[in-house]
Amino acid sequence: MKQPCVYILASSRNGTLYVGVTSDLPRRVWQHKCDLVDGFSARYAVHQLVWYELHERMESAIMREKQIKSGTRLRKLRLIEAMNPEWRDLYAGIL
């Protein structure tokens, strides 16, 4: 089932962050983990799903992604720590 979603991947706790949007979170995170997504996430080993937010419409997910990307690193860290204070990889929980 497709579900618009904004997500943040990290290389490690307080490491490099990647913000993305997708309609199929399990598939997209798997692609990142297997380095099937060329570019930033493969180059910086950004493979841990540390935060995500579900949306009803892709338009709202895209708007939220842009808002998060334009925010400071501190705001991203606060989002992550509010949902996932231990910085666990949430991937297994979305399968």
Percent of the chain scored above 70 by pLDDT? 99
State the CATH number of the domain containing residue 29: 3.40.1440.10
Given a cut of 70, is residue 1 above it in pLDDT?
Answer: no
What residues have CB less than 8 Å from 5, skipping those under 6 apart? 21, 22, 23, 25, 52, 53, 54, 55, 61
Domain count, the chain: 1
The per-residue pLDDT for range 49-94, each reduced to its tens digit, is: 999 999 999 999 999 999 999 999 999 999 999 999 999 999 999 9
pTM higher than 0.85 for the full model? yes
Phi, then psi, of 33 in degrees rounded to 5: -60, -35
Rg, C-alpha atoms of the chain: 12
The per-residue pLDDT for range 2-11, each reduced to its tens digit, is: 899 999 999 9
Check residue 13 and report its DSSP letter.
Answer: T
What residues have CB less than 8 Å from 1, skipping those under 6 apart? none
pLDDT of the residue at 95: 84
Domain boundaries, position 11: 5-94
